[in-house]
Structure 1
Amino acid sequence: MQDSRPAGRQFLVRRRFALRRTPCLVLMALACGAAAAQDSGVATLPTVQVLGEGDNTTTEGTGSYTPRATAASTGLPLTLRETPQSVTVVTRQRMEDENMLSLVDVMSSTPGISVQNYDSERYSFNARGFGISNYMYDGVPTNFEVGYAAGESSLDPIIYDRVEVVRGATGLMSGTGNPSASVNLVRKHANSREFAADMSVSVGNWDTYRATVDLSTPLSASGNVRGRIVSAYQDNHSYLDGYQNEKKIFYGVVDADITSRTTLSVGFNYQDNDPKRSNWGGFPLWYADGGRTDWVRSLNTGADWSSWGSTTQGAFASLEHRFENGWTVQAVGSHSKNEMDAKLLYLYGWPDRNTGLGMGTSPAWYLGDRKQNSVDLKASGPFTLFGRRHEAVVGASFNRQYANFDYREALNAAPMGNFLDWDGSYPEPDWSDTSVTASRYTTKQTGWYGALRLNLADPLKLIVGGRYATWKTDSVGFGGGDHTAFDKSEFIPYAGLLYDLNENYTAYVSYTGIFNPQSYQDRNGNWLDPLEGKSYEAGIKGEFLDGKLNASAAVFQVEQDNVAQADPGYMVPGSVNQAYTAAQGTRSRGFDLEVSGEVMPGWNLAAGWSHWTARDGDGNAIQTDQPRSLVRLFTTYQLPGDWNRLTVGGGVNWQSHVYTIASGPNGDERVGQGSYAITNLMARYRFNRNLSAQLNVNNLFDRKYYSQIGFYSQGAWAAGRSAMLTMRYQY
């Protein structure tokens, strides 16, 4: 949203950092210890699996925290050990154990991913120092502007089998984008040939109520046609005064085996978010005298009438055929539509410490939608050359995205009055009958991609490929001005070399090109050149217990030119938009450590430690508003013997400090949030094979911290301690 105050970044501090081998050794020692425990003769619990025919990537029903395979990085279904990039798969079991209720919950617990919220409805996700702009649904790319949020970060995970996150540059599969990560949301399918039901009711503090139903059934006597519906309803208040949200989710899919080797899937998804008293921006960080504020956590700057409603809906059809020679061809067509209707109030300025006067108001009404039509074609399979078996994938994707967001002006905005008495009862203004364009654009992307996985020797594999991407954009900015027309194309190379050190460990190196057209302008109104660069990664991956436990240690370096950085104090001529400069010679480097899976029977673990640092060509630290270091840990343990009905678990999410430069009454000032850790707990008791109860407690120690600080020189508190009890019935 051009007027919705996209986050600006200021960068001042210099830091130096040296990678050390110790973390890698610690991680691998943990994995080796787990393998030794398994080999000591402890019995393995049976695993229940619900799989589609020929599908080895589905995580639902496996009870695992790690996947058997993923195609997210190269388009080929490979194990994590065979994939020469840092990959995290948040499985169905982990989503259920942590009671993840939105994409924000998923990303907040994913190794290497940091989350920032701009206000009550808008969130951004970041990795390796850069914002994540690549999103995919079942492997089909899409993108969106955070400013014009239309329910993307509020997506409910209940309809997804897994969320695949590939960190680093992902040009082979997604084409354009930042070298941060790609997020692939993979929908559930109707895989069960028998009737199955999964229903739950939940209650939590802040008057939170939730009910879900997930039903699968054969639609033909033989089970070759199967159907599934997933639905959820949630009504909750919040730690923020007056805030309430009601959301409704529906998903339906039919999977039909036309022949024993051909499957047709057709599905539809819908989610409606109806929040009340949404806020736009945060609270003032200073009083008018320059002293820092310390508001109560429940302060909500939204008005009683403000709301940022959104609706997300989509439909898809997929046809897959599996040949006898091992090759598979797939065609996917999809349509999506995201709508928003946002009546908002922005408060700015600094209140007097005694009278509360001095704040200004800016009401606004934004509404519009974003639509996308996509087609993706892919073929993959084995071939023999020089007496060895290799694999190949070739594909093409085409998508067209159209967005049109309008703005209505407030005609008679009332004065703010005493902010110290603020309770949201600010009168709603009259709105103009005439809408003006806030943002309108059409973007067409095509991608032709291919990759070969060459078996050079028994321990040595080479993956080479690339994508030829085209990007055409035609857009106008606020008020119908600032016309932009891009027509860019680029070949994005990809290469990875893997060497099996022994039966458990594989060393790898990989390289990926970076290409990302930008819609930023400088202080003279000129458009910045596309972001270009290179991403390198090297590491070791370990696989243990027949793939039930995976571990990885990686170092990476990203080199880029034309990285957009806010130009403090300058706007684009003739607009209210922030001006940007293009930083040259930027470099981001760091490491990722991760372990996921079953450490020993009944003990699941997902843990990651990541660190990065980034500087521009002059050696200045950049992206300082994002945490350099992250630790993500969650584990569950099913008690043995007579206590085996009980599963207990918990985790910690820790991040290092962040800072930025904000403008206050005394001029520019450094503001930040120190490092902090959030502790979460869970416990589940299974009464019988059908009925269970689960309790989740988040932010156990009620830590008070900024969820964002410095965004337009304001701040916002994160949620305090919360708890939710869920009763679940499975048949």
Structure 2
Amino acid sequence: MKIRFQCHPVAAASTLLVASLCFQPPALAQTAPADVTADTPALASIVVKTKREHRVSKGATHLPMEIKDTPQSISTLDRETLRDFGVTDSNDALEWGTGLVVDRWETNRTSYSSRGFDVMLTQIDGLGMSNDWGLVVGQQDTYLFEKIELVRGANGLLTGVGNASGTINYVRKRPTNKDGGEALLTLGSHNQQRVALDYNKVLTQDGKWAGRLVVVNEDKDSHLRALNDRRTAIYGVVEGQIGLDGVLTIGMTHQDNKQRSPMWGSLTLPYADGTLADFDVSASTAQDWTRWNTRSQSAFVEYTHMLSPEWEAKLTYNHAEGRENTRLFYAYTATGHLNGDNTGLIGWPYRGESRSSSDILDLSLTGRLHAFGRQHETIFGLSHSKQD
């Protein structure tokens, strides 16, 4: 067992203390019996045909191309970068992305834009559906992902249709070929308390099957009055070899976000004479009884089959469900400005519940063609998606 303590740099306005425990069990090795001689014929080695050690993301073109070979502008936020800067939620992470603008409407709604257009497509492992509203409610916990890819420019190669902004692709963590993991304890500013666990286990002696479990729980206040965020996320994935040429992956994710005293709308700042109000940095229109809770569950099954050394077929099915429960309070003025004594606001309470479900089925065939004296990377695909 190896124990290490790390302090990760964060913004000057906050403090962060992280205790990190990394568990790395010794690798199992086979030793030859003492009576084996030099004349004993060597046994044929068994090679597990998986891609765990050399995964290549296909977020930009769905082809197994390195970023430097992809004819599109891509930025990658890997987990090491996110850890070094103490970034735990998706909005903070995306603010580090090149060429992406994160516009926070209030405390729980966000929109993204790139190259002057709203980003309407957010994917996980290259699969997703366009968001017609452009608004994203709640946040993803970055600890669930290996990296976040920002593909800038038209995303027609990903979806068949799209706009000129780009695509955000979250790449999930997957099983590896080694046992081990880490446990993180984070104490930070605004009463932040965070516990995270990431553990990988090779499930069979021959290494064909492996699983990974990621668990996160965070509780944090804010500089805004009464605002509190609680987030719990659990992700489990199992991957294994089927026959000689197939790889099956099954995973599930559950995330529960609870926000107390959220803002809905912004502060009214101007007075009738054109001057602006000077509120304290903690000012908020939220009431103690307000809340903005979001819960999501998703499951996916992915099967990849090597048809030949140069051709691969892949079938993926993803099902997701979401639920939103809100009690909100909106404060506004009929005139567009405050009275001189900071009165004149009108209150509008609101309560709502919503549910959503989506299904995505994706079939692709990738491989190489040799024609006209050149090698061509080729993909054929069919996708079907439905959302309620």
Flag whether TM exceeds 0.5 (same fold): yes
Alignment correspondent of 1:195:
179
What CA distance in whole angstroms lies between the structure 2 residues aligned with 1:298 and 1:197?
Answer: 39
What is the 5 A alignment of 1:192-271? 192=177, 194-271=178-255
Residues 180, 270 of structure 1: CA spacing in aligned structure 2 closer, same or farther, 3 A cutoff?
same
Q: SS in structure 2 opposite 1:283?
A: coil
For 1:278 and 1:145, locate their aligned partners in 2 and report how far apart those are by CA, in whole Å: 24
Which residue does the alignment assign to 2:93? Answer: 106
Q: How many angstroms apart in 2 are the aligned matches of 1:223 and 1:53?
A: 10
**Structure 2 residue identity aligned to 1:322:** M
Please state how far the C-alpha of 1:400 moved relative to its aligned partner.
Answer: 0.2
Displacement of 1:174 in angstroms is 2.1
Q: 1:372 aligns with which of 355, 358, 370?
A: 358
The CA distance in 1 between the partners of 2:372 and 2:229, in whole Å, is 61
Which secondary structure state, in structure 1, belongs to the residue aligned with residue 283 of structure 2?
coil
Q: CA deviation at 1:149?
A: 4.7
How far 1:307 moved relative to its partner?
0.7
Residue identity in the other structure for 1:141: G
In structure 1, what is the equivalent of residue 165 of structure 2?
Answer: 180
Task: Determine if the alignment matches structure 1 residue 72 to structure 2 residue 42.
Answer: no
Match of 2:150 in 1: 165
Q: Secondary structure at the match of 1:304?
A: coil
Preserved contact between residue 134 and residue 141 of structure 1 (Cα < 8 Å): yes
Deviations 1:210-234 (A, max 9, x none): 0000111122222211111100000
Match of 2:287 in 1: 303
Letter of the structure 1 residue corresponding to residue 369 of structure 2: F
Distance 2:57 2:239 in 1: 21
Identity of aligned residues (%): 28
Contact 1:88 1:111 in 2 (8 A): yes
Are 1:53 and 2:53 matched, yes or no? no
- The 5 A counterparts of 1:252-291 are 252-291=236-275
How far off is 1:171 after superposition? 1.1
Amino acid corresponding to residue 70 of structure 2 in structure 1: T
Structure 1 residue matching 2:301: 3-state secondary structure: strand
Matching residue of 1:85: 72
Partner of residue 382 from structure 2, selected from 388, 391, 396: 396
Q: Give 2:115's aligned amino acid.
A: R
> Which residue of structure 2 lines up, in the alignment, with residue 329 of structure 1?
313
Distance in structure 1 (CA, Å) of the matches to 2:266 and 2:376: 55
CA RMSD of aligned residues (A): 1.9
Asked whether the equivalents of residues 114 and 127 of structure 1 are also in contact (C-alpha less than 8 Å), the reply is yes
Question: Gapped runs of 5+ residues in structure 1?
Answer: 1-51, 59-68, 403-731
Distance, in Å, in 2 between the alignment partners of 1:73 and 1:197 is 29
- Once the two structures are superposed, the pairs formed by residues 434-583 of structure 1 within 5 Å of their partners are none
Q: Residues of 2 paired with 1:371 and 1:122: CA distance?
A: 20
Matched with 1:138 is: 125
Cα distance in 1 for partners of 2:231, 2:111 equals 20
1:296/1:236 CA distance change after superposition, 3 Å: same
Partner Cα distance (2:73, 2:135) in 1:
30
Show CA shifts across 1:520-577 (max 9, x none).
Answer: xxxxxxxxxxxxxxxxxxxxxxxxxxxxxxxxxxxxxxxxxxxxxxxxxxxxxxxxxx
Q: TM-score, normalised by structure 1?
A: 0.45
Matched residues in 2 for 1:149 and 1:368: separation? Answer: 14
2:271 aligned counterpart, secondary structure: coil
Quote the Cα distance in structure 1 between the aligned partners of 2:95 and 2:176.
29
Is the Cα–Cα contact under 8 Å of residues 189 and 228 in structure 1 kept in the other structure?
A: yes
Question: How many angstroms apart in 1 are the aligned matches of 2:204 and 2:112?
Answer: 43
Q: By how many angstroms is 1:253 displaced?
A: 0.5
Do the aligned partners of 1:342 and 1:367 also contact (CA within 8 Å) in 2? Answer: yes
Q: Note closer, same or farther for the CA distance 1:146–1:102 as it changes in structure 2 (3 Å cut).
A: farther
Structure 2: give runs of 5+ residues left out of the alignment.
1-48
C-alpha displacement at 1:142, in angstroms?
A: 1.8
Match of 1:385 among 371, 376, 383: 371
Partner of 2:327: 343
Q: Secondary structure at the match of 2:86?
A: coil
Higher relative contact order (CA 8 A, sep 6+): 1
Amino acid at match of 2:51: G
- What are the Cα deviations for residues 340-380 of structure 1, in whole angstroms up to 9, with x where unaligned? 111100000233222x3211111111210221101001111
Q: Structure 1 residues 128, 103: CA separation in 2 closer, same or farther (over 3 Å shift)?
A: same
Question: Does the 8 Å contact 1:212/1:232 carry over to 2?
Answer: yes
The 8 Å contact of residues 50 and 247 in structure 2, kept in 1 or not, is answered as no
- Considering fraction of residues, name the structure with more strand: 1
2:298 maps to which residue?
314
Q: Distance in 2 between matches of 1:305 and 1:250?
A: 28
